[in-house]
Amino acid sequence: MNRLRGIQGVAVLCAALATSSAWAEGSPFVGRWHLNRAQSTLPPRGPVPNDLSSEISRADASQIKWSVTILTTDGRTLIETFNAVGDGEFHSISGDSTASFRLTGNTLQSTFRGPTGQSDVQTCTVSTDQKQMTCRGVLTDGNGRTVNYVDVFDRM
C-alpha cells in the first residue's frame, strides 16, 4: 500500500485531468495546484512528501498533459511529466500501473491499479470559487485492506 500511496499525489492530479473536450479551456481543474497538508487527511504510515505541486496544462479526451513536482523527506526534488488519454478506459501510466478516469457532472473519479492488486479510487471536486480542489480517496492493498484519505489542494 505504501508504494501505491507514493504515487497517490500523482494519482490525485491524474484525476483532476480526466475531462471532456468541452472542459479543455475553461476547466476548473486546469492550472497550478499545491498540496494543503494542514487541511488534508493523509493515510497513516504512507510516505508524506515535504512539498507537492502540479501544473495541468491540457485536459481533454484526446490528450492529458501535466507535470508534478515532489520534494521528498530526504530533500530530493522529483519531477514527473505525464501524457495520458482521458477516455474512461484503463491505460498504462507507468510500466506497472494503470489508471482510468471518468467525469460525472462536476466530479472527477479516477481508479488506479498497481501491480500486486492494490488500488486507489478517488473522487475530486473543485470549490465554487475554484480556489481549492478536494480529493477523497480509498486505498486498497493487495490483501483487501482499505484506508480512507482526503487530499486538499490550493490553486497557486
Q: Which residue has the higher pLDDT, 144 or 59?
A: 144
Confidence bin at 1 (pLDDT 50/70/90): low
Bigger pLDDT: 14 or 139? 139
Q: Reading across the β-sheet that carries 119-126, which strands appear in turn?
A: 77-84, 64-71, 51-59, 31-35, 146-155, 132-140, 119-126, 107-113, 97-104, 91-94
Q: What is the pLDDT of residue 136?
A: 96
Cell numbers 486546469: residue: 30
pTM: 0.77
- The answer as to CATH 2.40.128.20 being correct for domain 2-155 is yes
pLDDT reported for residue 104: 66
Closest alpha carbon to 5 in 97, 127, 67? 97
